[in-house]
Amino acid sequence: MKRRTATILTTVLAVAAASTAAFFALPASAETAAFTVQNAWSNGYQAQVTVNNNTSSQISTWKVELTFPAGTTVAQSWNATQAGSGSTYTFTPAGWNATIAAGASTSFGFIVNGAGRPTSCLVNGQACTGTTPSSPSPSVPSSPSPSASTSTPPPTSGTPVQVNGQLRVCGTKLCNESGQAVQLKGMSTHGIQWFPNCYTDASLDVLAKEWNSDLFRISMYVQEQGYETDPAGFTNRVNNLVEEATERGMYALIDFHILTPGDPAFNLERAKTFFAQVSARHANKKNVIYEIANEPNGVSWAQIKNYADQVIPVIRANDPDGVVIVGTRGWSSLGVSEGSNSSEIVNNPVSASNVMYAFHYYAASHKDNYRAEVERAAASLPLFVTEFGTVTYTGDGAVDVASSNAWFDLLDRLKIGYANWTYSDASEGSAAFKPGTCNAGSFAGTGSLTESGALLRNRIRA
């Protein structure tokens, strides 16, 4: 922070967790910094620091230093540049949030390994001295931040969007407006060019109200009789389905479904055009998530990242708050299906915030080694399973109940959201409905469900 010698401020660094709180009184001439624990688990927690400029003048930079007890480390941070020396961690602006206007604030967050809270702090190079007041002062997160303010908590009942509001990526999790980690569960369409009768008012009412689905993934093929044949028509179909999901309070995941060719650069200009249009149409909605490349394959992570670094700014120009999901190497397997792993992403992440990374699996084909990689990657990367099946990678075959349940248990434990392939009546094992269901228009209950559909309905309703 830029020190202001002419202004005397009363500042507090609040360290809050569970029912206890420790306080550090900052020296005069320092801006306010408030540390809060937003989420905690057995071996770590997620925290946020809010830097407030209570002066009458703009400040052009800031610096916060936190020292943790032995055995406690900061694993990763966002909205700040992090440096560490021993048990002390220094946080400086990420670039875009260096300047804080008079009366404004900015926030950054981080994930801590270990249960220890900060034992000391430096703000703008000034040491903090400890006091313990009888009651803590509230801290108010500010924008931009991976989680929104908790001053007005969302409702505890209602549709998924009413309950959770605008989503943010916070650390390795997807969080709601109050900064709580959430796990979205839902279904994916098949190709909307092939199964239009599967996505009617009746079927979407069942998905939202009977299945209690949080999420509706709208899978728009680019090739295979898809977007490239009629860009305006397919964009209109996607927009209409987003509106249908919105009416029912579900999150809408817009899937730019590339598969063959596997190089996303082949469709770069199409992607820019499509996402410019849909993000402009839905920018004011709280329920839209953008999946910019379904299953890249046969290309390096560097090529995928280059594509993402060009497409994401197109979305951000219209919708700065929407979560963006980036496909990963090897048919969105984090590289495993092409002999690699998530380390290449961890070491070279996409150059944007509020981004997650896609993982796809098919339970009968992808088992322990894939689950192990997801477990490892989830410690460093925000993941979303935007597509999975209970059968083989072909989308067909018998349901592997044991492997499917092992996957469900892992994703639930890690709070990783998912969309199942598919909410359709395709003549394949992965379809949720028996063939002929969509033309008949009878979606309610369990009589029209396949084995896969019945399994998914039970898991999502739970």
Instruction: Provide φ and ψ at 89, rounded to 5°.
Output: -120, 135
- What was the pLDDT predicted at 238? 98
- What was the pLDDT predicted at 296? 98
pLDDT digits (tens, 9 = 90+) for 56-84: 888 888 888 889 999 899 887 777 788 88
pLDDT at 20 over 80: no
Question: Count of CB atoms within 10 A of residue 40's CB?
Answer: 14
Question: What CA–CA distance (Å, rounded) separates 258 from 307?
Answer: 13
Quick one: average pLDDT of 454-460?
97
Q: Which two tokens stand for residue 119?
A: 């034992």
Question: What CA–CA distance (Å, rounded) separates 235 from 239?
Answer: 6
pLDDT at 390 over 60: yes
In this structure, the dihedral spanned by the alpha carbons of residues 292, 188, 331 and 262, taken in order and rounded to 10 degrees, is -50
State the pTM of this model.
0.70
Catalytic entry in 31, 295, 344, 428: 295
383-389 vs 173-175, strand pairing mode: unpaired
pLDDT at 428 over 60: yes
Give 239: exposed, middle or buried? Use CB within 10 Å, 0-12, 13-18, 19+: middle
Is residue 295 among the annotated active site residues?
yes
Question: What CA–CA distance (Å, rounded) separates 325 from 76?
Answer: 19
Q: Which amino acid is at 4?
A: R
Question: What CA–CA distance (Å, rounded) separates 201 from 205?
Answer: 6
- What was the pLDDT predicted at 213? 98
Question: What CA–CA distance (Å, rounded) separates 66 from 352?
Answer: 25
Quick one: average pLDDT of 154-171?
87
User: Could you give all domains of the chain from N- to C-terminal order, each with its CATH number?
Assistant: 11-131 (2.60.40.290), 167-461 (3.20.20.80)
pLDDT digits (tens, 9 = 90+) for 198-252: 999 999 999 999 999 999 999 999 999 999 999 999 999 999 999 999 999 999 9
Using DSSP, state whether 63 is helix, strand or coil: coil
Catalytic entry in 65, 244, 291, 387: 387
pLDDT digits (tens, 9 = 90+) for 311-343: 999 999 999 999 999 999 999 999 999 999 999
Q: Which two tokens stand for residue 462?
A: 């739970």
pLDDT at 162 over 90: yes
Q: Which residue has the tokens 């390096």?
A: 300
What is the longest distance spanned by two Cα atoms in the chain? Answer: 76
Name the percent of the chain lying above pLDDT 90.
Answer: 66
pLDDT at 137 over 60: no
Question: Count of CB atoms within 10 A of residue 90's CB?
Answer: 15
